[in-house]
Amino acid sequence: MSHPRVIGPQATLPPAGLPGLDPALSRLVSVDGVLADAGATRLWHVLDTGDALAERGIEPRGTIVAVHGNPTWSYLWRALVNASLARADAGATPWRVVAVDQLEMGFSERTPLRRTLAQRIADLDALVTELGIRGPIVTIGHDWGGPVSLGWAVENRDRLAAVIALNTAVHHPDGAELPFALRVATARGMLAAGTTGTTAFLDVTLALADLDPAVRAAFRAPYATIARRRGIGGFVADIPATPAHESTPALHRMSAGLRELEVPALLLRGPKDPVFGEDHLDDLTERLPHADVHRFEGAGHLLAEERPYADVVLDWLDEKLPDAAPAAPRTRRASSRKRPAPTGRLWDALDARRDDDDTAVIDMTTSRGDGPLNVSWRQLSARVDELAAGLDAFGVRAGDRVSLLVQPGPTLTAALYACLRIGAVVVVADRGLGIRGLSRAVRGAVPDVVIGEVAGLAAARALGWPGRRISAAALPAASSRALGVEASLSDLARAGRGRPLPAPPAADADAAVLFTSGSTGPAKGVVYTHAQLSALRDTLAAHFGVTADTGLVTGFAPFALLGPALGTRSATPDMDVSAPRTLTAAAVAAAVRASDARIVFLSPAAVANVVATAGGLTDADRAALSRVETFLSTGAPVGIDLLRRAQALMPNAVAHTPYGMTECLLVADVTLPEIEAAAGDRGVCVGRPLGTGEVRIAPLDEPGRSSDDTTTEPRVTGEIVISAPHLKRGYFRLHLTDREARRGLGERWHRTGDVGHLDAEGRLWVEGRLPHVITTAEGPVTPVGIEQDVETVPAVQRAAAVGVGPAGRQVVVAVVETGARRPGLASPELTEAVRAATAQRLAAVLVVPTLPTDIRHNSKIDRTRVSAWAERVLAGEKPSAP
């Protein structure tokens, strides 16, 4: 690498050969100093695409001003620079990008002045003025470039089009400690040594991402000497950690001014950041409530080096600033007919029965030791009101997020409805995610309050989850101190007794964040409004004829709390709801008997164990089950034989298998007789849409991607897209996921990620997941139909059809569960039988003792894991279990 060429007093051009950086885009700009630097002339280094666009004869739609943090430089924004030029070369109208090296940093001039935040904001304004940038202007900043760029934005709203920020912070509460990494850097005796005298601060920052050595060297290039590193130390010294710090007033002006910004805002975050935590993002979203937010799981502080953020930024600008964007080709959108508004609020039925002494909720937990606990409507209503008022007294306000780490039962029911009543947003992520998945979900939701049992509170303490702590049960003082508990639910109920309730939330206010199963990647938080939850209640009540006398037994966590909303008594059987296979037939019968329930709602894994433990039923158990009128199982496909065996335990019930997902808990429904009558199609028949919901198909192309067009034509295989009044509002802080989920369809539609088709009768058939589509040379192949064929072989208990090989040229492999002691190639006899069972050509047949399933439902086969295992085995690796 050549040495920098000196142009002015310590201002230089970067050396040639830096990876990803065109030296022709570098320029030095002479700018008159301002504020404390008035009277001086300073040289700035910038990366600027303006001349390159002019040479192409292109007038940009506006300018993106990109501001780096500490200790990086404009090189951080090279992907944005290059992506903008690539779009210009592809015929799109691009944005000009001006990426600056702040004074004292990168290849800009070093000066004797100690630059404060106010000085840096004024410096940036002087540069923008010198460059003649009039607008529209978009600012983007990272790290301490965030406050600088946002500070400029707040002071220049007349030219501002949008603001974007990567990992950053704009406010430091009085008295709060700095993040640990910054406390170390700013410690007395460490500041000069760690930031200027040595390269320690620079080295630690660059170690936060897995950088190519050449890229790491490029970031280090401007900081080769102590003199050139003084700006790194100056930046750290300027962190306004106390009210008395000279940059604190400027930080407060900027952070307060953000509340008045109405331009589009985009916040991108890498959660694995030791400097800027979820609380900093939470603070930003509170100041910019209209901002689009996306958290890139697995990324950290140097997000721009870890994820393809540049296209995200440019696509977002196309979407948010359409007047500046070229006209996009029109695609046929899925229709969106007007839907009736949901009636009432989720707690209306509870209010209506507040003077009723009939049973509302039954706790069947045998660990109580004294039998089932019956809670009346009067008791439940009073407890909800007391807790709601107590939460309000505790400081919980509308919009605050409350994480509930309590097993289903009366306590959870009361806490949940109390939160909803005052407009707090409940966060529900169950233990079935595993400790890592649960921790990722809870931390990512940044709860203001955690209400939990001892195990949940201990995890919250050990894993550093945010939020004030409330215990579900009263704890000894020592335990409360150890767990950081401020109060128990009983304490809140006493505090709320006789206290007036705040006004109820609006129908379109957020009500809940429900986390997905994590079976197709990190669990996502699905946001529901009060109106959408009410629409779910109305759909469920209307379709299944739920009345006050119906009674409901729920062994499926998402529906375990709907009894009070439906105005009917409910019981959760004695089980671990996060481990469905713990449910027994006897436990279901006991819950039915205790609640006189006519509806039983179970997950597929729970159904399997209920059937397997039917031998333990007594005559009284069987008599209770014979009174059940409706049996439902949802959450994953259920085999017809298993359904028949389950219905044999409830001989007078109609068996239903509703199709849904966390994003829309009820999409379609089909009964066992309808399944038996439906024949001739591949996949699992899940019936017709419920209520006013709609289902369409986005056809697959040859590489297995789903189209932006949709159809209701029969026997067209593609991605299933849905719309319903009870469809989610969106994902929590996952803007890109939201955008992809509605790509080409409109605001009230959702791409499910499932593939299937509609038959001539309008029934939906599910054929697998979009990521599991096998892309052969002959076209895309879906797995479920093949698996159904293979499972007709007597020796096969379950099957997975997976693709092996490069995309577009994959071959189909059947992996079968036979109870074999050793995984590997199937015997010639079994291979022949499996191949004879299906018309699909199979490259190989492999056997495993047990097929792996997802961590929550215990029923969905993890085809991605099976495919990777099959590929290794067929490549000659020793076959261990997948």
Q: Is residue 185 pLDDT above 60, yes or no?
A: no
Q: Phi, psi (5° rounding) for residue 745?
A: -115, -30
Cα Rg for the chain, rounded, in angstroms? 30
Q: How much of the chain exceeds pLDDT 70, in percent? A: 92
Task: Label residues 763-796 b or e (16+ Cβ within 10 Å = b).
Answer: bbbbbbbbebbbbbeeebbbbbbbbbbbbebeeb
Q: Is residue 755 pLDDT above 60, yes or no?
A: yes
Q: Is residue 20 pLDDT above 90, yes or no?
A: yes
CA geometry: angle 489, 494, 497, nearest 5 deg: 120
Sequence-distant (6+) residues with CB within 8 A of 681 are: 715, 757, 759, 765
Are 11 and 111 spatial neighbours (Cβ–Cβ below 8 Å)? Answer: no
Predicted local confidence at residue 517, as pLDDT: 73
Q: How much of the chain exceeds pLDDT 90, in percent? A: 75
DSSP state of 44: E
**Residue 114, CA distances (Å) to 32, 34, 724, 761 in order:** 17, 13, 58, 75
565 exposure class (CB count in 10 Å sphere: 0-12, 13-18, 19+): buried
Q: Is residue 849 pLDDT above 80, yes or no?
A: yes
- Which pLDDT band holds residue 588 (cuts at 50, 70, 90)? very high
3-state DSSP call for residue 544?
helix
Beta strands in 484-594 (DSSP E): 485-488, 510-515, 525-529, 552-555, 570-572
Predicted local confidence at residue 857, as pLDDT: 45
β-partners of residue 32 are 41
- Give residue-wise pLDDT tens across range 543-564: 999 999 999 998 876 677 889 9
**Residue 289, CA distances (Å) to 93, 120, 258, 671 in order:** 30, 26, 10, 44
Residue by residue, DSSP assigns 216-277 as HHHHHGGG-STGGGHHHHHHHHT---STTSTTHHHHHHHHHHGGG--S-EEEEE-SB-SSS-
Predicted local confidence at residue 581, as pLDDT: 77
Are 817 and 848 spatial neighbours (Cβ–Cβ below 8 Å)? Answer: yes
CA dist 427 and 524 (Å) reads: 12
Predicted local confidence at residue 190, as pLDDT: 53
- Give residue-wise pLDDT tens across range 380-407: 999 999 999 999 999 999 999 999 998 8
- Give residue-wise pLDDT tens across range 664-688: 999 999 999 999 888 778 899 999 9
Are 610 and 628 spatial neighbours (Cβ–Cβ below 8 Å)? Answer: no
Task: Label residues 852-882 b or e (16+ Cβ within 10 Å = b).
Answer: bbbbbbbbbbbbbbbbebbbebbeeeebeeb
Q: Phi, psi (5° rounding) for residue 439?
A: -65, -40
Residue scoring higher pLDDT (879 or 546) = 546
CA dist 807 and 670 (Å) reads: 35
Predicted local confidence at residue 191, as pLDDT: 52
**Residue 248, CA distances (Å) to 40, 142, 192, 486 in order:** 26, 19, 22, 31
CA dist 665 and 645 (Å) reads: 25
Q: Is residue 368 pLDDT above 60, yes or no?
A: no
Residue scoring higher pLDDT (532 or 636) = 532
CA dist 704 and 707 (Å) reads: 10
Predicted local confidence at residue 603, as pLDDT: 83
CA dist 570 and 553 (Å) reads: 6
Angle of the 145-155 helix axis to the 248-257 helix axis, nearest 10: 60
- Region of 132 (left: φ > 0; alpha: ψ -120 to 50; beta: rest) is left
At the second CATH level, the architecture of 664-770 is Roll (2.30)
Q: Is residue 463 pLDDT above 80, yes or no?
A: yes
Residue by residue, DSSP assigns 151-204 as HHHHH-TTTEEEEEESS--S---TTPPPPHHHHHHHSTTTHHIIIIISSHHHHH
- Which pLDDT band holds residue 192 (cuts at 50, 70, 90)? low
Q: Is residue 432 pLDDT above 70, yes or no?
A: no
Q: Residue ranges of the domains in the chain?
A: 10-172+248-323, 348-544, 664-770, 773-874
CATH code at 10-172+248-323: 3.40.50.1820
Mode of pairing for the β-strands spanning 798-804 and 824-825:
unpaired
Residue scoring higher pLDDT (706 or 243) = 706
Mean pLDDT, residues 706-715: 95
Are 15 and 4 spatial neighbours (Cβ–Cβ below 8 Å)? Answer: yes
Predicted local confidence at residue 438, as pLDDT: 81
- The whole-chain average pLDDT of the chain stands at 90
CA dist 13 and 146 (Å) reads: 24
How crowded is residue 584: how many other Cβ atoms within 10 Å of its Cβ?
20
Long-range CB pairs of 639-647, under 8 A, 24+ apart, other chains included: 639/791, 640/672, 640/675, 640/676, 642/604, 642/607, 642/608, 642/611, 643/607, 643/672, 643/675, 644/672, 645/611, 645/614, 646/607, 646/610, 646/611, 647/672
Residue by residue, DSSP assigns 360-375 as EEEE--GGGSS--EEE
Instruction: Return the sign of the alpha-carbon dihedral for residues 668, 669, 674, 678.
Output: positive
618 exposure class (CB count in 10 Å sphere: 0-12, 13-18, 19+): exposed
Give 821-875 as a 3 state SS string: CCCEECCHHHHHHHHHHCCCCCCEEEEECCCCECCCCCCCECHHHHHHHHHHHHC
What's the token pair of residue 258?
């953000």
Are 121 and 39 spatial neighbours (Cβ–Cβ below 8 Å)? Answer: no
Q: Is residue 442 pLDDT above 90, yes or no?
A: no
Are 150 and 139 spatial neighbours (Cβ–Cβ below 8 Å)? Answer: yes
CA dist 285 and 297 (Å) reads: 18
Nearest to 236 by CA among 201, 284, 279: 201
Predicted local confidence at residue 245, as pLDDT: 87
CATH code at 348-544: 3.40.50.12780
Predicted local confidence at residue 236, as pLDDT: 87
- Which pLDDT band holds residue 580 (cuts at 50, 70, 90)? confident
Q: Is residue 611 pLDDT above 90, yes or no?
A: yes
3-state DSSP call for residue 468?
strand
Are 150 and 170 spatial neighbours (Cβ–Cβ below 8 Å)? Answer: yes
- Give residue-wise pLDDT tens across range 58-76: 999 999 999 999 999 999 9
- Which residue do the tokens 């072989």 mark? 793
Nearest to 858 by CA among 512, 606, 615: 606
What is the fold, at CATH topology level, of the domain defined by 773-874? GMP Synthetase; Chain A, domain 3 (3.30.300)
Predicted local confidence at residue 7, as pLDDT: 44
- Which pLDDT band holds residue 845 (cuts at 50, 70, 90)? very high
pTM value is: 0.87
Sequence-distant (6+) residues with CB within 8 A of 289 are: none
Predicted local confidence at residue 429, as pLDDT: 83
Are 709 and 322 spatial neighbours (Cβ–Cβ below 8 Å)? Answer: no
Q: Is residue 858 pLDDT above 80, yes or no?
A: no
* CATH topology identical between 348-544 and 664-770: no
248 exposure class (CB count in 10 Å sphere: 0-12, 13-18, 19+): middle
Q: Is residue 330 pLDDT above 80, yes or no?
A: no
Predicted local confidence at residue 605, as pLDDT: 80
- Give residue-wise pLDDT tens across range 618-659: 999 999 999 999 999 887 777 788 899 999 999 999 999 999
CA dist 861 and 11 (Å) reads: 60
